[in-house]
Amino acid sequence: MAMVLQVSTFVQQYLYSRAPSKQPKEQDAIKLGILSTAMIDPAAVIHPVETHTGAKITAVGSRDLSTAQRFSKKYSIEKAHGSYEELLADKEIDAVYISVPNGLHAEWAIKSMVAGKHVLIEKPVSANAEEAQLIFECAKKHDKIAMEAFHWQFHPAAHVVHALVDSGKYGEVLSTYARMTTPTGSIPSSDIRWQFGLAGGSLMDMTYVVSATRYFLDAGASNEVVAAKARLMKKDKRVDESIAATLNFKSHGKTVTTDLFTDMNLGNIGHIIPRFADMPSIKIELEKATIYYYNFMMPHLYHYIEVTEKTTDAKHSQKHYNFGPKWGTRSEPYWSTYRYQLEAFIDKLRGYEPVHWITPESSIAQMETIDAIYVKAGLPKRQGSLSIQDLSVLF
């Protein structure tokens, strides 16, 4: 993922260089703060905000003031705060984008909402399901909007695939298989994704495979993890380099068996050539056809949707970079998944009905499924920076 995000950031910058120049902001534009200076921030929120007239980034916070100042200068952000607490004390900020490590998500999402801010929380929403439950209880108590940033679900291509599955044209879903991998050596051994104390692991980082499976099945939490096997880090046997799992989900009243695979250290071809082409994908087998959606995580960079009809073996391939069954003409070819997500998030904050939304129930079900896979694989659930008791007293 580190390599994927790095490459996607460069491509993202290229895409936005082709977009209209930075848009003038509306007088009542939503003021956003960024909590952390993570590598994902430019692609996930900074560049998308540049072309949205109803949003602007006014501040960034880091645990180190000089880091925040360098970041704010580089991206022309008005204010730099030398601590997360200082950022949350900034009364001008309406909402906070949270991109700290997984194990810190719940703590800072809750602290942000207590401070009066709405929150957009990077995936996974928390370290475990209990934390996810507390996040949304806090949101309800403080009348704040909290959403998990599963950006890929906001893209028109995802909606097209969902519509194909849901249409009934190809019959009922029989099974699915979702996979996501990263070549060996692309994630440094010191990276936060390998740290159990920060809720790391391949399933946590590549949580997209669970999200995609559930989204296309219209399913909640898995009702059974049939099998789960992990390949563990040598240095820390609590952390999964890879996980393969078989799960059952209830989908439209029927049980569907699904498979998923994640690998943050996939061996190179012949131990030499990196597997660059092995992008996130999902195969959905229906009664009358198989749908293959390639690169569902970053479809704005490149993707294809291939439908193979079982009776004739005829193949139909399509791509969708804008329009689609949900967005219609309210979209632009240069919009990334993150730009679509921002559009929906700002709509919600302004009291409008968003085109698409990641509900609290979905985020909790996502973490319940991840927890269950870890347990079945004989691994401990991920833990956050604070205990559940300490989190609950924060609000």
Tens digits of per-residue pLDDT, 266-292? Answer: 875 554 454 555 689 999 999 999 999
DSSP state of 43: I
User: 5 pLDDT band (50/70/90 cuts)?
Assistant: very low
Q: What is the pLDDT of residue 279?
A: 84
The helix (run of H) or strand (run of E) holding residue 55 is strand 55-61
Q: Is the pLDDT of residue 338 over 50?
A: yes
Contact of 353 with 347, CB cutoff 8 Å: yes
Q: Is the pLDDT of residue 114 over 60?
A: yes
Q: What is the pLDDT of residue 94?
A: 98
pTM of the model: 0.94
User: 183 pLDDT band (50/70/90 cuts)?
Assistant: confident
Q: Is the pLDDT of residue 2 over 90?
A: no
Q: Which has more pLDDT, 153 or 184?
A: 153
What residue type is 1 in one-letter code?
M
CA atoms of 131 and 120, how far apart (whole Å): 16
Q: What is the pLDDT of residue 84?
A: 98
Q: 231 in helix, strand or coil?
A: strand
Work out the average pLDDT over 147-171.
98
Q: Is the pLDDT of residue 238 over 80?
A: yes
User: 10 pLDDT band (50/70/90 cuts)?
Assistant: very low
Hey, what domains does the chain have and what are their CATH numbers? 2-144 (3.40.50.720), 153-345+358-376 (3.30.360.10)
Q: Is the pLDDT of residue 159 over 90?
A: yes
**Residues contacting 323, CB < 8 A, separation 6+:** 156, 329, 331
Q: Is the pLDDT of residue 187 over 50?
A: yes
CA atoms of 162 and 253, how far apart (whole Å): 17
CA atoms of 269 and 95, how far apart (whole Å): 44
Give residue-wise pLDDT tens across range 74-103: 999 999 999 999 999 999 999 999 999 999
Contact of 197 with 278, CB cutoff 8 Å: no
Contact of 125 with 105, CB cutoff 8 Å: yes
